Every structure is written in C-alpha cells, then in structure tokens.
Amino acid sequence: MFSALSDSLDKTFRNLRGVGKISEKNITDALREIRLALLEADVEFSVAKTFIEHVKEQAMGAEVLKSIKPGEQIVKIFHDELAALLGDDQVPLNLEGTARILMCGLNGAGKTTTSGKLANRLKREGRKPLLIACDLYRPAAIDQLATVAGQIDVPVYTPDASEKDVVKVAKDALAWADSQDGDVLIFDTAGRQEIDDVLVAELKRLHDFVQPQETLLIADAATGQGAVSVARHFDEAVGITGIILTKLDGDARGGAALSMRAVTGKPIKYAGEGEKLDQLFEFHPDRMADRILGMGDVVGMVEQVATQIDEKDAMKSMERMASGKFDFYDFLDQMKMIGKLGDMKGLMSMLPGFNKIKKQLPDAAFDPKRLKRTEAIVLSMTPDERRRPEIIKGSRRKRIAAGSGSTLVDVNRLLKQFGDMRKMMRSPKKMQKMMGGMGMPGMGGGAGGFPGMGGGGAGMPDMSELGDIDSLLKGMGGGGGGGGGAKGRGSKGKKKRRR
C-alpha cells in the first residue's frame, strides 16, 4: 500500500535535499511532481489541489527559504500537512453504556470479517461484544458471521433464514441481547455492489431503529476514487461517525485513505491489514504519514508484535538464552512465535528504509512455507539431537534431510546458523546488543527485530547497512537462526566498505 506514492515522494524530496538554496521555482517544480504523484495514487482531485496549496503556502514562507536546511523543513511541512489530511489524532470509539455499532458498506468491502475483527479486538480490551447478523440478502452471510463468532468465542444472534424484515431482526436481536452479558452490540448489515435506493432506504430504517452510537463505514482501500463517492453517499444517508479501511496490506495505490477523511470530515478509526481476525489496528494519522514518507512505524510494529507474543513465554526463552541452555526445543518455540506474526513483509514494511531495499527481496523470502520447512527439519531430529545438536554428524544429517524432505545443504545451513547463535549467546556484549530495545528473545534484539536482521526496537539499524542481501535472506529462511548470520554478515559488510 502507498508504495508507488512513497517512491515518488522519496525521489522528489531527495532532489530537494540536494539543492543548496531553495527558490520559488524549486518548490513549484517539486509540488507539481507531488501533485501528480497524489493523483496517480487515486487521491481525489479537489483534495490533492487543496493539500498542495496548503503545503505551498507554508513552504514559501521566508523562514523556510532562508533556513540552513530548507529541504528538510519542506519535508516536515509535508509530513505535518499529510497527518492533518489524515485526521491529526487517533479517534477512539464511543463505547459509553451498552454501545451499539452499525457496520455499513458495499459488498466485498469486508464488513462481516471486520465485524469479527472489531469484536475480537474489543474482547481483548476487556469489553463483552455481541455480534448480530442483519445481512438478509447475501447467501451464507449469516453462516459466515456465525463461523467468525465461533472462532473468537463471541455470542452471535442469527435470525431465521426466511426472515426478510431487517428491523424485526434488530428488534428480536435487542431482546436476545438483554439476556446476554454483553456491553457492545455490533450489527453486521447488508451491502450491495453499488449504492442504490433500496440499500439506502433499508439502512436508514435500521439506523433509525437501532440508534447506534457509532455508524462505521467499512471501505475497501483498493476501491480508489470510487471509495470517496461511496463514503459521501453513506454519510449523507445515515451520518457515519467513522471509517474502517480494509485490505490496507494490498497493492492498491492508497488514495482512498488520503481522500475520505477530507471529503467526509469523519475520522478513520481502524485499519485492517491481513485476513486474520486479530489484524485490525488503530489508525494513527501521524504514523501513517511516517510510513508514506518512508520513515517507518516502529511503534506500530512493536504494538502488533506485542499482541501476538506471550510475554511469559518470551521471558522464559530469554532466560534460557541468557543461561546458554538454548537448544532446538527453544528454537521450535521461537519459530512458533514468528509464525504467529503473520505477514512478515507487511510487518517489515513498517521498518524505516524498508522501501529502499524491498525490490531486492524476492517474494520467496517472506514465504511462510520457509518456516515450515525449517520446522520440519527440527521435527525430524530425535529428542536427544534437539537437546544436544553437537552430536548431529554425517549419517544423522542425512537421515534428518531424508525425514524432513529437505536437502543435506538445508540441514547443514540450519545447524551452522544454530551454532552461530550459540556462540553469540556465550558473548555477553553480543547478547546484550541482540536483546536490546524491547527485548524480544532471539529475534534480533527487540520487538522490532527479525531473524538475521541484527538490532531492533528503538535501536533499529538503517536498512542500508544490513550488508549482503543474499545472506539476509538465508538468515530469514533460518526462521530464527539468523542471529548468528547477522554477526557474520555485519563483519563481512564492513570489510567490503573498508576496501
């Protein structure tokens, strides 16, 4: 998401930074390029025009033109205006009393899944959500919501399949909710392929009866400029209170996110990134502005990781590592932690500077099957071999390769990486560096780290200093054994630079 826009902005700002003195012509030329980049990213025309006017007004100020680093100041102005365009501050849901939330949007935007994601998030936050199926038209919509509710263990009201009166369904659902121990009611409504009179009339009737505190528009981020028209129509029909963007992890150009807030004046409250029911995150305008400008979102990444990793298990693993007792059983536990993180490419895109090297990384580097293959190798070892890897010699290695369906080269590489990890653990200084930042065990030193990628957390290294990309991918493929790989790669990279 936003990759093309980020690349265009990076090129423009790089040119500005290289100019010793900023002139009106420099700024005008740069803003023309930025305006084109915004339009190509599907930002609505009037929104792009107004945005550029605001940036130009500030960028042409005397303080900027006479400053020592005018290029940097213009980047800051653009960042602040971008954050303002997206909404300035994160806006929480209104959940006073027994809150009612009406989910609306077109077919295919992900209303039902997002209803489940929202219920799951609210449940983790200590609320008691209830799901209510009000989509009486789409085949299997009720069954889908029931399935989602079962996956997250949340009570769900499902009407009879023959019922066609959505207001009666809502009335019966409210009576059912009175018998449940819930404090948030989430109504999943019907959608259409496009806005029509029938949809609007039904939604108005339901909205008038339910009287929700929150009416959330579920909008597919890949819809482009069409999403702006959809947002405007729904807002005029029922008065939306907020927006949830879905499929933000896709390859859409992202203009909808930059336009809908400006057009409707309603905040983007959450963003869905991924298919899993725990992949719904608060939308922070300033952090999104950082990501669009290639500055990353380490805080957001840490928060995402924290929701997936059990703190007690992490601390136990850290203690094992610190004591030098780390074996392949611990290694398996760490691979399971990594597997819980989901889309590694999406997570890594939140690293500062990742966009600059992403094209060098083949998609196979982020293939979850690589973790599975590594896990298969470890599971093919005997209990004694997992506890004492040093006994795994020639014949044992061949047996493990055959048993796991891998090659002898794969087994040798994994054992070497594991050996490098153990050596690193015996060095207090290297261990301290590897476990810096937020201190996630075995993951490159911090909630921001990844296998084979060195530092992390607050001390995240510049991606350009990672050295040999080939070795980086091998470390990632090791599924946790990259700690040692980072050691070797770092020294090799420095030697090359010294030459």
Residue 118 has pLDDT above 90, yes or no: yes
Please indicate, yes or no, if residue 186 is contained in any of the structural domains: yes
Please indicate, yes or no, if residue 129 is contained in any of the structural domains: yes
pLDDT band at residue 441, thresholds of 50, 70 and 90? very low
pLDDT computed for residue 494 by the predictor: 40
Distance of CA 199 to the CA centre of its chain: 32
Please indicate, yes or no, if residue 303 is contained in any of the structural domains: no
Of 63, 86, 109, which one is at a domain's C-terminal end? 86
Instruction: Mark whether 332 and 472 lie in a shared domain.
Output: yes
- The Cα 422–Cα 406 span in angstroms is 23
Angle subtended by helix axes 197-210 and 226-238, to nearest 10: 50
Share of the chain above pLDDT 70, in %: 66
- The Cα 435–Cα 439 span in angstroms is 5
Average pLDDT over every residue of 276-287: 84
Average pLDDT over every residue of 20-24: 69
More confident call, 55 vs 312: 55
The answer on whether 183 is annotated among ligand-binding residues is no
- The Cα 471–Cα 413 span in angstroms is 11
Instruction: Mark whether 347 and 424 lie in a shared domain.
Output: yes
Beta strands in 268-345 (DSSP E): 268-272, 280-282
Instruction: Mark whether 290 and 335 lie in a shared domain.
Output: no
378-387: pLDDT as tens digits? 999 999 998 8
Average pLDDT over every residue of 58-76: 67
Of 295, 321, 343, which one is at a domain's C-terminal end? 295
Reference 318, options 412, 449, 485; nearest CA is: 449
Residue 186 has pLDDT above 90, yes or no: yes
The answer on whether 5 is annotated among ligand-binding residues is no
More confident call, 96 vs 274: 96
Residue 13 has pLDDT above 80, yes or no: no
User: Which segment, 21-25, 210-214, 274-278, is predicted with the most confidence on average?
Assistant: 210-214
Please indicate, yes or no, if residue 93 is contained in any of the structural domains: no
Q: Please state the domain count of the chain.
A: 3
More confident call, 462 vs 58: 58
Residue 102 has pLDDT above 80, yes or no: yes
pLDDT band at residue 436, thresholds of 50, 70 and 90? very low
336-353: pLDDT as tens digits? 776 666 565 555 555 555
The answer on whether 189 is annotated among ligand-binding residues is yes
Average pLDDT over every residue of 426-449: 43
The answer on whether 191 is annotated among ligand-binding residues is yes
CATH of the domain at 71: 1.20.120.140
Average pLDDT over every residue of 17-23: 66
Q: Degrees (nearest 5) of the Cα angle 328, 330, 333? A: 110
pLDDT band at residue 470, thresholds of 50, 70 and 90? very low
Q: Which residues pair with 215 in a beta bridge?
A: 102
Picking from 154-158, 201-205, 290-294, which range would have the lowest pLDDT averaged per residue? 290-294
CATH of the domain at 285: 3.40.50.300
Instruction: Dump the DSSP string for 207-257.
Output: HHHH--SEEEEEEEGGGTTHHHHHHHHHHHHH---EEEEE-TTSS---HHH
Instruction: Mark whether 225 and 159 lie in a shared domain.
Output: yes
- The Cα 28–Cα 31 span in angstroms is 5
CB–CB of 435/428 below 8 Å? no
301-330: pLDDT as tens digits? 555 555 566 666 666 666 666 666 678 887
Q: Which residues pair with 130 in a beta bridge?
A: 185
Residue 119 has pLDDT above 90, yes or no: yes
The answer on whether 110 is annotated among ligand-binding residues is yes
The structure tokens listed for 170 are 């809502």
236-272: pLDDT as tens digits? 888 999 999 887 766 555 676 678 888 888 888 998 8
pLDDT computed for residue 87 by the predictor: 78
Instruction: Mark whether 404 and 289 lie in a shared domain.
Output: no
Please indicate, yes or no, whether the overall pTM of this predicted structure exceeds 0.85. no
Please indicate, yes or no, if residue 302 is contained in any of the structural domains: no
Instruction: Mark whether 162 and 276 lie in a shared domain.
Output: yes
CATH of the domain at 416: 1.10.260.30
Please indicate, yes or no, if residue 301 is contained in any of the structural domains: no
Please indicate, yes or no, if residue 304 is contained in any of the structural domains: no
Instruction: Mark whether 347 and 448 lie in a shared domain.
Output: yes
Instruction: Mark whether 315 and 429 lie in a shared domain.
Output: yes
CB–CB of 258/86 below 8 Å? yes
- The Cα 75–Cα 113 span in angstroms is 37
CB–CB of 337/451 below 8 Å? no
Residue 213 has pLDDT above 90, yes or no: yes
Of 262, 295, 328, which one is at a domain's C-terminal end? 295
Reference 80, options 58, 104, 49, 113; nearest CA is: 58
Instruction: Mark whether 126 and 264 lie in a shared domain.
Output: yes
- Beta strand pairing status for 184-189 and 214-220? unpaired
The DSSP H or E segment spanning 185 is strand 184-189
Instruction: Mark whether 111 and 241 lie in a shared domain.
Output: yes
Reference 271, options 300, 235, 234; nearest CA is: 300
Picking from 4-13, 36-45, 393-402, which range would have the lowest pLDDT averaged per residue? 4-13
Centre a 10 Å sphere on the Cβ of residue 266 and count the other Cβ atoms it contains: 21
Average pLDDT over every residue of 417-432: 67
CB–CB of 104/240 below 8 Å? yes
pLDDT computed for residue 425 by the predictor: 66
The structure tokens listed for 338 are 């990594």
Instruction: Mark whether 70 and 133 lie in a shared domain.
Output: no
The answer on whether 105 is annotated among ligand-binding residues is yes
Please indicate, yes or no, if residue 94 is contained in any of the structural domains: no
The answer on whether 355 is annotated among ligand-binding residues is no
Share of the chain above pLDDT 90, in %: 24
More confident call, 354 vs 221: 221
Range of the domain at 438: 310-498
How many residues are there in the chain?
499
Picking from 36-45, 168-177, 365-374, which range would have the lowest pLDDT averaged per residue? 365-374
Mean pLDDT of the chain: 74
Instruction: Mark whether 264 and 321 lie in a shared domain.
Output: no
